[in-house]
Structure 1
Amino acid sequence: MSDEESTFKKIFKDWRVMVMMALIIFSLLSIYVIPPAFDKGIEGNLQLGLDLQGGSWIQISFQSEVARFSSDNMSASEVAEALSNEIGADVIVVSNDQVEIRKYYTEEELRQIFNDIGVKMVSYEQGVSKDTAEDIKRILEDKVNNLGTQDAKINTLSGINDVTSYIRVELAGTDINTAQDLVSSQGKFEIRIITEGNKTEHVLYGDSVTSVSTPSQSPAGSQNWGVGFTLDEVGAEAFREAAIKYGAVDDPKNHNLVMLLDGNVVYSAPLSDTLANKLMSGTVRDLSASTGTGEDALEEAQLLEIHLRAGALPVDVSIAGSGSVPAELGEYFKIVCIVAAILALIAVGITIYFRYREPSIVLPMMLTNVSEIIILLGIARYIQQLDLASIAGLIAVIGTGIDQLVVITDEVLHEGKVPSPNVYLKRFKRALGIITVSACTTIFAMLPLAMMDLSTLKGFAIITILGVLVGVIITRPAYGKIIMAILSKKPSK
């Protein structure tokens, strides 16, 4: 067996190297094969943010405020009840001395209202409590996910007092008008029935809708798109009574069912003959709203599904800011990022070559660095959207990764020679100790940014932390074994 064959055998039989190779293969499969994405270009299945794909962002504020109060004779629940009766709006207890008023008032107006009920207002902050913000975020996530917008980011922007003032929604691949319509919609869903002329009567609200199916063609095999939904018992009874009372079961064509979102009609159609006959004999809980045939009908069905599912936001919102990145600019940013990453790798390769002037050292370093980036992208494909800040994190990982490989190489080599195996392993463990301490400091420094909802900074921090963990746990130990096997042919010290 030749020296080269023996060296390769040593490398690929080591379990650390086998783990690294397995993760590289898994990452490539995740990016390009699961599911197949060869037609999507170099990015494959990676989730690209609006910086790289084009899209829109919306920042919304809340018509609500959180106030802290002081009272000697009223509890928080009593204060909330008194305020609700005074202003005719929902008031939620946040803590023993804090309430959330779900209606907009200036600080002066609200202070006077507190005085009217005999309570002193201590502080005022426009926004919502942390729990309400999470509810709003969940509802918005339901909306964008049901639209099929996978590349969406929703971040709450909160202060140190846990009052959320804004929510920022980023929708990659979505134009600004669609984004505004989707985000600003209050989701207050209602079904009414036409009585005479253009007059309508209330039938039920969205809280009677218990489940909604995805758009489908019904009956199976037809070209007719529709959305199925289910009513609770109360809603089904109200639906039947209204259909009979206003003549929809006898004359469906002149008594359309009208669905409204925030007072705007989102769907209008008569009862089918089959449904009208069923309602004559009893309640019907499983219904379907037909939108017609073709691509436009499918889009209408998708939007109707969102309206049926979303429910009502707990507070009114307004758009505080918005913007968009054209698709052409996103494509330009994508090319720039690829070029920047390639140039970074080339610069790193030249630097370490001039340091060691030994291809048997430079090549394993560069391959290990590239392997680390591939593994990192494979992990990020499942958990992190890639925007400009995330790409900056990837490029930073290239530099910090080489730094740590240099530490390992300098530690195990002495005067350009490889020591005996025992001495090598001691020096290698010492180098890993140094790298681990350095990695911990980086992780601790990035954790605050990763945990805060600071939009782009969060992506940078997450990618940096992932890169450090992949390096310390996987690629650094593998590199140590690779470099030991390759350089063991050199004369020992």
Structure 2
Amino acid sequence: MNREAIINLVKDWRVALLLVLVIGSLAGIYLTPPDLQKGLEGNLQFGLDLQGGSWLQMEFQSVIVAYSTDKPVGDLVDNLQKSLEADVIQIDQNHLEIRKSVSRADLEPLFAASGAKIVGYQEGVSSFTADEVKRILNDKVNALGMQDARINLLTPTGSEYPQYVRIELAGVDMETAQEIVGKQGMFEIRIQTTGNETEHVLFGDQITSVGVPQRDPEYQTWGVGFALTEAGAQAFREAALKQGAVDNPGAHHLVMLLDNKTVYSAPLAGDLAAQLRSGPVRSLSATTGTGDAGLDDAMTLEIHLRAGALPVKVDVVGSGSVPAALGEHFKTTVVLAGLLALLTVGVVVYYRYREPLIVLPMLAINLAEIIILLGIARFIQQLDLAAIAGLIAVVGTGIDQLVIITDEVLHEGRVPSQNLYMKRYGRALGIIAVSAATVFIAMLPLALMDLSTLRGFAIITMLGVLIGILVTRPAYGKVIMAILSK
């Protein structure tokens, strides 16, 4: 091909789009953010298999009980909380979540004493509590700057409720992983004095319980309720009286800090100030606003009020680690496997066509597809062994589809006329589109399931299918036409 033909080829929007995405992907991998010490890995996020690290599997110490009763449910909940010394949450009209590991045999007399009967019993937590645990762990991990973390909820076969949570931390030793799960942050409440100055009121150890986000039915505002110890309530009242907050609540903000970082600040409520005049108040509520934004802030504040503590106790039932050296060995093996796959594909394609001008564009387009795929995965997906398997699968299916295009456009070994070429090329794309749609639909359930071993494979495969149909196959059709016509 001469210089003019190459320029015309690059000007075609399909080829231009491919080149722009390849350059953008390389920039995303190596230049954002810039780091002169990056190796070939760039900004790619590697999972536990390829980087080394630790994993913990923890069991929720909680049970879900289905019940029936003719008496007020509130009395049942109060009696259970006092008898078990544990939080009891009403999930719906017929189910309670008891945040303590207790057998059905031990619960039955307690329910009977409250005029209730146990209908069903399962170990685990409600979906709300499970999501709350996942949010808290994510918040902890993100606060420590660890992006290569996976947190998955596991539900045993035949159960409706999650019973385990598994956390994988790439590049983290076992001791640090245990500390992340068990360590609480330092939570502090302060009150505004004058200007931007604040004074200490109490620490998080004075908070006895934290409620779930609730919406005020009258004002439609979201908030989180929490209770103080008697000493904490007394310290809070004394600080409010000392600073004059009970007389001028609007001028004195209540400031909450987690590890010296402000997580909540709002003026003292007028009705609370009136209550503090007459005595200590143990039950407080922090209002966060209305709508979805208020709910999001309330959920975040709930985590901070707990100072990073999980709402339900967990016991470690399994753990393991992958040494960094073994992770590097896996990484090297994966690179060699990928190169060997690409080389093998090239040899097979050359044996079929015996023409380098067909083989080289195929391999180049396939390589470009992998680069674009890695550039996108760099932002949304860790690269573990399952994801790498998806990449290798994309190489194989990609070449397969390029062979379909080449076989269709070649007519008895010769390049057909322009009209016949476009007709055959359109038919090839139709075949590929149907095949890609089948793969996409087959992978979709795996991508939506929270399964750490399969989700990466499904996501990478689906991305590869989309990139192929939308970008690389159209570009290959234009490139192969320009080459074969010469």
Pairwise same-fold verdict (TM > 0.5): yes
TM-score (norm 2): 0.75
- 1:81-100 matches, within 5 Å, as 81=78, 83-100=80-97
* Structure 1 pair 186–315 and aligned structure 2 pair: CA distance change class (3 A): farther
Distance between the aligned counterparts of 2:396 and 2:257, measured in 1?
Answer: 59
Distance between the aligned counterparts of 2:185 and 2:105, measured in 1?
Answer: 31
Out of 349, 368, 371, the residue aligned to residue 368 of structure 2 is 371
Distance between the aligned counterparts of 1:286 and 1:85, measured in 2?
Answer: 30
State the partner residue of 2:417. Answer: 420
Out of 129, 143, 148, the residue aligned to residue 151 of structure 1 is 148
2:310 aligned partner, one-letter code: L
Secondary structure at the aligned position of 1:164 is classed as coil
Out of 63, 66, 77, the residue aligned to residue 65 of structure 1 is 63
Determine whether 1:118 maps to 2:108.
no
Distance between the aligned counterparts of 1:240 and 1:67, measured in 2?
Answer: 39
Distance between the aligned counterparts of 1:390 and 1:458, measured in 2?
Answer: 8
Secondary structure at the aligned position of 1:43 is classed as coil
More deviation, 100-109/75-84: 75-84
State the partner residue of 1:216. Answer: none
Distance between the aligned counterparts of 1:207 and 1:342, measured in 2?
Answer: 59
**For each residue in 1:83-108, what CA deviation from the matched residue of structure 2 results, as whole angstroms up to 9, or x when unmatched?**
43543422222233222111111232
Out of 312, 315, 330, the residue aligned to residue 312 of structure 2 is 315
Deviation at 1:4, TM superposition (A): 2.2
State the partner residue of 2:433. Answer: 436
Deviation at 1:352, TM superposition (A): 0.6
Secondary structure at the aligned position of 1:56 is classed as strand
Deviation at 1:38, TM superposition (A): 4.4
Distance between the aligned counterparts of 1:144 and 1:288, measured in 2?
Answer: 15
Out of 156, 161, 164, the residue aligned to residue 163 of structure 1 is 161
State the partner residue of 2:102. Answer: 105
Secondary structure at the aligned position of 2:38 is classed as helix
Secondary structure at the aligned position of 1:42 is classed as coil
Number of residue pairs matched by the alignment:
402
Deviation at 1:285, TM superposition (A): 4.9
Secondary structure at the aligned position of 1:436 is classed as helix
Q: CA RMSD in A?
A: 3.2
Contact kept, 8 Å, 1:186 with 1:317, in 2: the verdict is no
Distance between the aligned counterparts of 2:326 and 2:482, measured in 1?
Answer: 47
* Structure 1 pair 316–185 and aligned structure 2 pair: CA distance change class (3 A): farther
Deviation at 1:144, TM superposition (A): 1.0
How many percent of aligned residue pairs carry the same amino acid? 58
Distance between the aligned counterparts of 1:207 and 1:376, measured in 2?
Answer: 50
Determine whether 1:387 maps to 2:406.
no
Secondary structure at the aligned position of 1:170 is classed as strand
Distance between the aligned counterparts of 2:461 and 2:35, measured in 1?
Answer: 26
- 1:20-419 matches, within 5 Å, as 20-71=18-69, 73=70, 80-81=77-78, 83-159=80-156, 162-185=160-183, 203-205=202-204, 238=235, 241=238, 285=255, 310-419=307-416
Determine whether 1:472 maps to 2:469.
yes
Deviation at 1:186, TM superposition (A): 5.9
1:360 aligned partner, one-letter code: L
Secondary structure at the aligned position of 1:39 is classed as coil
TM-score (norm 1): 0.74
* Structure 1 pair 31–420 and aligned structure 2 pair: CA distance change class (3 A): same
Distance between the aligned counterparts of 2:92 and 2:445, measured in 1?
Answer: 25
Secondary structure at the aligned position of 2:40 is classed as helix
Distance between the aligned counterparts of 1:167 and 1:327, measured in 2?
Answer: 24
Contact kept, 8 Å, 1:77 with 1:93, in 2: the verdict is no
Distance between the aligned counterparts of 1:432 and 1:75, measured in 2?
Answer: 65
Secondary structure at the aligned position of 1:465 is classed as helix
* Structure 1 pair 333–401 and aligned structure 2 pair: CA distance change class (3 A): same
**For each residue in 1:261-316, what CA deviation from the matched residue of structure 2 results, as whole angstroms up to 9, or x when unmatched?**
xxxxxxxxxxxxxxxxxxxxx999588989xxxxxxxxxxxxxxx99984332111
- 5+ residue gaps, structure 2: 190-200, 208-225, 243-251, 261-302
* Structure 1 pair 119–367 and aligned structure 2 pair: CA distance change class (3 A): same
* Structure 1 pair 435–80 and aligned structure 2 pair: CA distance change class (3 A): farther
Distance between the aligned counterparts of 2:345 and 2:72, measured in 1?
Answer: 64
2:339 aligned partner, one-letter code: I
Distance between the aligned counterparts of 2:254 and 2:36, measured in 1?
Answer: 47
